[in-house]
Amino acid sequence: MELGGYLAAKSEADHYDRELRREQEEIDTIPDSEAAEVAEILAEYGVEPHEYGPVVNALRKNPQAWLDFMMKFELGLEKPDPKRALQSALTIAIAYVLGGLVPLLPYMLIPVAQKALVASVMVTILALLIFGFAKGYFTGDRPVWSALQTALIGAIAFAAAFGMAKAVQG
């Protein structure tokens, strides 16, 4: 999981770098076409030709600002944080371990498997309710609805995994 997060963030950074080089080459080799693209972009925002002319000229005088403008407004790309790949990998790894411990902890503490299963289900649903509530609270969604939705989806996933394990087992 963490490798996937790392590779996704790394791919995003690599894509940005390729597009940056391509855009820089276009600014260097076909500046008039690139200036026309700036004008088109500004026109899409309702800026009139007499208003965007000075902006286009100012960008042509500042190649780095011109490149940044094209990356953001033509391609819709923001410069990725170089530390993002490692942060993503670590975040996913920690979340995976902590999230995996929630349903497993009862099995570590309760010696009877049947009782541990019941405790695992209850602890996991409680954790999903708490997580869903927090998610809803911090995203501005309805926290109670978010909690119930998260717990329901988690319960369905649990039931599917449990059913598959039973089917394979017997």
Is the predicted pLDDT of residue 15 greater than 90, yes or no? no
Containing domain of residue 57, as a range?
2-74
Instruction: Report how many domains make up the chain.
Output: 2
| Percent of the chain residues topping a pLDDT of 70 | 95
Q: What contacts 59, CB < 8 A, 6 or more positions away?
A: 35, 38, 65, 66, 69
User: Could you read off the pLDDT of 145-154 as tens digits, one per residue?
Assistant: 999 999 999 9
At residue 112 the predicted structure's pLDDT band, cuts being 50, 70 and 90, is: very high
Name the pTM for this structure: 0.54
- Angle in degrees, CA 29, 33, 36, rounded to 5: 145
8 A C-beta contact, residue 145 and residue 136: yes
Predicted pLDDT of residue 106: 94
User: Could you read off the pLDDT of 42-98 as tens digits, one per residue?
Assistant: 988 888 888 888 888 888 888 899 899 899 988 888 887 777 767 777 888 888 888
Same domain? 69 vs 124: no
Same domain? 25 vs 70: yes
User: Helix, strand, or coil here: 76?
Assistant: coil
Residue 119 maps to a domain: yes
